[in-house]
Amino acid sequence: AGEMVEFASGVKGIALNLENENVGIVVFGSDTAIKEGDLVKRTGSIVDVPAGKAMLGRVVDALGAPIDGKGALGDHERRRVEVKAPGIIERKSVHEPMQTGLKAVDSLVPIGRGQRELIIGDRQTGKTAIAIDTILNQKEMNGKENETLYCVYVAIGQKRSTVAQLVQILSEANALDYSVLVAATASDPAPLQFLAPYSGCAMGEYFRDNGMHALIIYDDLSKQAVAYRQMSLLLRRPPGREAFPGDVFYLHSRLLERAAKRSDQTGAGSLTALPVIETQAGDVSAYIPTNVISITDGQICLETELFYRGIRPAINVGLSVSRVGSAAQLKTMKQVCGSLKLELAQYREVAAFAQFGSDLDAATQAL
């Protein structure tokens, strides 16, 4: 299972189900040219994608083929899409900051290099904006060669116009020089939307394993889960909760475990992940959101109400946490923001009371 096959029309596929009588293959591309009686050849290889510095500044599809019209890729190596995450001994705890350039994030939910921080919220709450701003803000910090943070942005199930707009924003700001875009748009088949995050991760791991630092953004994993559900149901795998297959947790856990901080013996590189999850009507306790929250090292919760009040980024500070980031926060930042979270919590508590209006005593009103 997991081997690539090739159809007579040249379209590739991957064998996912192996049974006595038949083989379940998902097709990477258009299925219109496939007909009954066609020969299907084994390729003898597992899915792999190009990786390396030649990828920087390029827009590729889920199989690593360039789709930006800039010609073939330069000098690159090929990496397997599905690899095991680094073991416990090869890791080091997160201790360097990954500055996003957004004060609300860097002060209250600091992110370290090698951390996985979930960005979660309803549609139109600015989830992608946080991710894109983070990429753009690296420009000023990427002056030093050893500190450069390479960015991989994986667009899953988004409109082509949105991806084109994004490429334009990044190229106008000269941010494409240190970025790779992997796009599996809404019009691409489900298998490509399922594969894109793993392909992007393999490209990010090139930097992680060669002592460099990378950031990967999966936008968004809800759509990957939907694509995977579609594939699994077509492969006749038994559905579970919300019709997702039983291994939908493993789908995301094996992906996000690959973001890590390597130990000094293995080159001290890092891969930081910012997965995005879209909630329905603010329901953070749905199936996929709770799965991904339990896998990641914290989450940034965005709320529609705050967004409409003009608070942007619309971060709900009470619900947002960073479980390992405080160890990576800069000392000066820590001194400035140490008491900030507590003060905000006290403010929210008093603000709730303040709605009672004038029947408060003078001391409480003074707050």
Which residue numbers are catalytic? 323
What is the token pair recorded at 235? Answer: 């492969």
Report yes or no: 118 and 292 within 8 Å, Cβ to Cβ: yes
281 near 304, Cβ under 8 Å?
Answer: no
Q: Which amino acid is at 115?
A: Q
DSSP 122: -
Report the alpha-carbon distance of residue 310 to residue 318 in Å, rounded. Answer: 18
DSSP class of residue 316? -
122 vs 308: CA distance, rounded Å: 12
Distances in Å between the Cα of 311 and the Cα atoms of 125, 303, 306, 308 are 10, 10, 5, 7
Q: Which residues pair with 208 in a beta bridge?
A: none
Q: Which of 119, 139, 171 is nearest to 276 (CA)?
A: 119
Residue 143: alpha-carbon gap to chain centroid: 25
Tell me the C-alpha distance between 135 and 142, whole Å: 11
Which structure tokens are listed for 53?
């510095």
Place of tokens 């596929």: 13
CA 322 to each of CA 116, 141, 203, 208: distance values in angstroms, whole numbers, following the listed order = 9, 22, 26, 22
| DSSP characters over 125-169 | SSHHHHHHHHHHHHHHHTTSGGG-EEEEEEEES--HHHHHHHHHH
